[in-house]
Structure 1
Amino acid sequence: MARDMQNEPDDAALLALYGSGDPQAARLLAARLLPRVLGFATRMLGGDRAEAEDVAQEAMLRLWRAAPGWRSGEAQVSTWLYRVTANLVTDRLRSRQRRRLNAGGGELSLDEAVDPPDDSPGAEARLIAAERLAALDQGLAGLPERQRQALVLRHIEGLSNPEIAMVMGLGVEAVESLTARARRGLATLLQDRRESLGFEGD
């Protein structure tokens, strides 16, 4: 059944429709939420796209399982989903830490793969943008997990402080403090590269 895109249901209404057996509602909700959750998980996991896809799929599966008993008004669907994703990411990061300790190794480093430059127009601009993004991801990876989570939710995912408070199980003032510390920490981590990467005005 075709839907009027101007009056498309909100997330909670779509989840309720899915819980009542409407598969189209699930497709619409997944198209709306999955890219956001995948991006969040990818940044929280230091750019590990494969692991982030696993986390995002598991988070969506939990949402589908929660659909039949979902009660509108208790929480926003997106906030609930971010919280589930954050918990799954935390589990993955702890598992990584345990594996590292059990292996007796030092810090794991991510391989930095850079595509060879080409001579097509805009190639230099694309390389600069890719280098800036890689530096940002590297800086984010250097932050403590809770600071990274707050910063990504606020400045990349665009959540409000009250929404982040719900996701992280904190008060709004604690979120504001955590985000401020994360911004200062990120600025320090990127300090030596700010001018070369063009961050000086950011």
Structure 2
Amino acid sequence: MTLLAGGRPADPDDPSADAAYARALARGEPQAARCFMARNLPTVLGIARRLLRDEAEAEDAAQDVFVKVWKNAHRWEPGRAKFDTWVGRIAINTCYDRLRRRREASGEDLPERADGAAGADDLLGAEAGARRVRGALASLPERQRLALELCHFQEHTNIEAAEMMEISIEAVESLLARGRRALRAALAGEADELIADLAASRGEEA
């Protein structure tokens, strides 16, 4: 069970627990830092891996996110978004900042933000299928990859994903629909089964 400083449970659906968690992070309490690693780090790393597509850079970005959350936890406003949603938004913006710097250095264009965005080898070939899905996902526009990461692999609601991505719910639904269509085309009708295999393999890694 994820705990707040002092040993109390941290319930992401309880506003008062969110507020206590934010205060504990702002104070730099060690238990709150451990709570962040258990409660928020998997989401942050998932976002960073999906957007940056580089493990070392994703880990660096996750560290940046932790520092930003720690320094700015006192700025979180409970009435505007859940704490975890706020953290996810920081993660997304941190990754986009890194992508912008990367593309400025290489001369590539940065896509518009508002529009479009290992398991064991003996599990019935799940890893081979997972590699196919990862390859297909890598070919999608960033916003479609991110929407699929948040809603399918991390099981956030469309509302939560919209808040993190700072777009409308309708835009998230459009990104998901386009992303799924593109995956089905790329995977020749095997998308649903292969994506399920990838999700299962990621669950084994957690």
Q: Secondary structure at the match of 2:81?
A: coil
Question: What residue number does 1:15 align with?
Answer: 22
| Residue 107 of structure 1: aligned partner | none
Structure 2: unaligned runs, 5 residues or longer: 109-119, 198-206
Q: Secondary structure at the match of 1:125?
A: coil
1:63 counterpart letter in structure 2: V
In structure 1, give the amino acid aligned to 2:145. R
* Contact 2:121–2:127, Cα closer than 8 Å, also in 1: no
**Is there any run of 5+ residues in structure 1 with no aligned partner, and where?**
103-121
Match of 2:115 in 1: none
> What does residue 150 of structure 2 align with?
153
Separation in structure 1 between the aligned mates of residue 122 and residue 161 of structure 2, nearest angstrom: 37
CA offset digits 1:120-152 (Å, max 9, x no partner) = xx85437x2221221111111100011111111
The CA distance in 1 between the partners of 2:194 and 2:11, in whole Å, is 41
- TM, length-normalised to structure 2: 0.73
Match for residue 89 of structure 2 among 83, 87, 90:
83
Residue in 1 that maps onto 2:55: 49
Partner deviation per Cα, 1:71-127 (whole Å, 9 max, x = no partner): 32222111111111112222333334344448xxxxxxxxxxxxxxxxxxx85437x
Are residues 1:32 and 2:39 paired? yes
Q: Which amino acid aligns with 2:52?
A: L
Q: How many residues align?
A: 179
Alpha-carbon separation, structure 2, partners of 1:7 and 1:158: 17
Give the structure-1-normalised TM-score.
0.75
Which of 131, 135, 143 pairs up with 1:134? 131
Say what the alpha-carbon RMSD is for the aligned residues: 3.0
Q: What's the offset of the Cα at 1:168? A: 1.2
Structure with the greater alpha carbon radius of gyration = 1
Secondary structure of the residue aligned to 2:188 is helix
Q: Which residue of 2 aligns with 1:60?
A: 66
User: Residue 165 and residue 7 in structure 1: after superposition, are their counterparts in 2 closer, same or farther (change >3 A)?
Assistant: closer
Q: What is aligned with 2:164?
A: 167
Structure 1 99/135 Cα, relative in aligned 2: closer, same or farther at 3 Å?
farther
